[in-house]
Amino acid sequence: MNYDKKIDAIVDYIKSGEKSEDNFKVGFEVEHFVIDAETMETITYGEDGGVRDSLMEIEKLGYEGTYEGENIMGLSGDGFAVSIEPAAQFEVAFGAEKTVDELFDNYKKVMGEIVPIFDKKNQLLAELGYQPKSKIADLPFIPKERYKYMSKYFREFGGTMPLNMMQGSGSLQVAIDFKDEEDFKKKFFVANAVSTFLYSTFDNSYIFEGEVYAKHNLRQSIWENCDKPRTGTYPFAFDDDLSYRKYAEKILATDSIFIHKDGKDIYTGDTPFEEIFDQDMSKDMVYHALSIVFPDVRTKQYIEVRMPDNVPYPYNFAAVALIKNMFYDEEIFGFLYQLFSDMTYEKSQKLKDKAVMQGINTIYKDKKISEWMLQITGMIEEDNEYIKPLEELLKRDEKPRDIYESLYKEDPQKAIYNFSVNKFIKEN
């Protein structure tokens, strides 16, 4: 198959996501850990009263289940979808809306229906960046073939922490729109340039493999050491000739790991998508190719900003409001574009390295990250009520992890409850 036709298949897919500014929306998804409120151990998929049983109970509320054989793997309803990550992390993706208020209303409705299923089992939907107690070696994969294939591939070709990514991590991701290729280019650049700022601001990983994590930005370190060709920051994000085509070229050069064919997943290992596209260039295959890469900033028919750990209310909606305004408010976006005008891949990596040791106190140019973030949040007007709690945190040079740490030292069970959706629903 002609190489340019393969490129065009990906470019056309990305381009189909272009929207007029009047139709810009923001979406988000969150990965929760299902935790026993007493022991703080992670609830697995197949155990009695486990995640599988909970999904089937939620399905009875009138939602549509998705299955692999006899195993329920997800749910969908009006304005949301549930999927299960490799170690049974409970991911909820919310449909994009024009305003944060609309997202918040949907979040309250959906979680208000889901959480009681877990409450009656004394289980929590914990909002943290890493497993609060259990170690990944003790957590079985859910019965999904693709995760066996990913584990096999990463063991042979990956870095030092891919299984920590698959079984240990929990994130909050925000989706933003672009109007054309030039808009995409600028937003993709700024999103990558601000990567360390977002990792640091929403750092929420205090425990790592059962022990206190002594450094900062655990999520950043996991992704930097997962599978370098498909994770972390893409170097071309800072190139002057960044384009849809450049992104497509990267995708074609990436190992495919597995593909879905004839109703089942098939292991393809280090076969690049350029070869896979010789046989299949369907939209489903293009979508798979765009989804099986995990950079800080990922592109499909929208741009995914993937750096924050999952954090509890009110900081989760502060993250949504912050990222929305960073990319949709012309004054703020222009400020960021100028602030990072001389950012390069090499500079961004050095900033990441510093932030591992210094967190939000890392100096960029003449200010700490926390000070830059305060300047940015101070420019936000439309969603100010969501931003205020984050501003108060930044004024104290703190991040969500610091609150969790303080609570944890007082009472670990109190900490995990306070960092759960269960607490939010009870109070709202």
Tokens of 203: 């750092």
DSSP per residue, 173-230: EEEE--SSHHHHHHHHHHHHHTHHHHHHHT----EETTEE--SS-HHHHHHHTT-TTT
Cα(291)–Cα(298) distance, integer angstroms: 8
Predicted local confidence at residue 262, as pLDDT? 86
Any idea what the Cα angle at residue 281 is, between residues 280 and 286, rounded to 5°?
A: 115
Give residue 263's pLDDT.
Answer: 85
What does the pLDDT average to over 210-216? 98
| Per-residue model confidence as pLDDT tens digits over 41-96 | 999 999 999 999 999 999 999 999 999 999 999 999 999 999 999 999 999 999 99
Residues 6+ apart with CB under 8 A from 367: 375
b/e sequence 18-47, b meaning 16+ C-beta within 10 Å: beeeeebbbbbbbbbbbbbbeebebbbbee
Query: Whose structure tokens read 């741009």?
Result: 303
CA 174 to chain CA centroid, nearest Å? 7
Geometric angle at alpha carbon 303, from 302 and 309, rounded to 5°: 130
The per-residue pLDDT for 10 is 98
Write down the residue that tokens 């259990």 correspond to.
134
pLDDT at residue 245 above 90? Answer: yes
Judge whether residue 16 has pLDDT over 90. yes
Place 421 in a pLDDT band, splitting at 50, 70 and 90.
very high
Name the token pair of 60: 């009875």
Q: Is the pLDDT of residue 336 over 80?
A: yes
Q: How confident is the model at residue 337 (pLDDT cuts 50, 70, 90)?
A: very high
384 closest CA partner among 297, 295, 321: 321
Distance (Å, whole) CA 185 – CA 301:
14
- The torsion angle over the Cα atoms of residues 141, 227, 270 and 91, rounded to 10 degrees, is 40
Q: Is the pLDDT of residue 277 over 90?
A: yes
Range 157-161 contact pairs with CB under 8 angstroms and sequence separation of 24 or more: 157/227, 157/255, 157/269, 157/270, 158/226, 158/227, 159/224, 159/225, 159/226, 159/227, 159/228, 160/225, 161/221, 161/222, 161/225, 161/226
The token pair that represents 186 in the structure block: 């600028």
333 pLDDT band (50/70/90 cuts)? very high
Q: Residue 190 in contact with residue 341, Cβ under 8 Å?
A: no
What is the distance between the alpha carbons of residues 281 and 339, in angstroms, rounded to a whole number? 40
How high is the mean pLDDT of the chain?
Answer: 97
Q: Are 81 and 65 in contact (CB under 8 A)?
A: no
pLDDT of the residue at 43: 98
Q: Are 26 and 184 in contact (CB under 8 A)?
A: no
Cα 277 to chain center, whole Å?
27
- pLDDT at position 1 over 80: no
* Mean pLDDT, range 104-112, rounded to an integer: 97
Say yes or no to pLDDT of 389 above 80.
yes
Average pLDDT over residues 344-366: 98
Comparing C-alpha atoms, which of 277, 142, 84 is closest to residue 151?
Answer: 142
Burial of 203 (0-12, 13-18, 19+ CB in 10 A): buried
Q: What is the mean predicted confidence (pLDDT) over 105-122? A: 98
Q: At what angle do helices 181-193 and 244-252 cross, to 10 degrees?
A: 70
Q: What is this structure's pTM?
A: 0.97
Q: Read off the pLDDT of residues 154-189 as tens digits, 9 standing for 90 and up.
A: 999 999 999 999 999 999 999 999 999 999 999 999
**Bridge partners, residue 72, by sequence:** 67
Mean pLDDT within 287-299: 98
The CA radius of gyration of the chain, in Å to the nearest whole number, is 21
CA 162/CA 182 separation, integer angstroms = 33
Q: Specify the amino acid at residue 12.
A: D
pLDDT of residue 173: 98
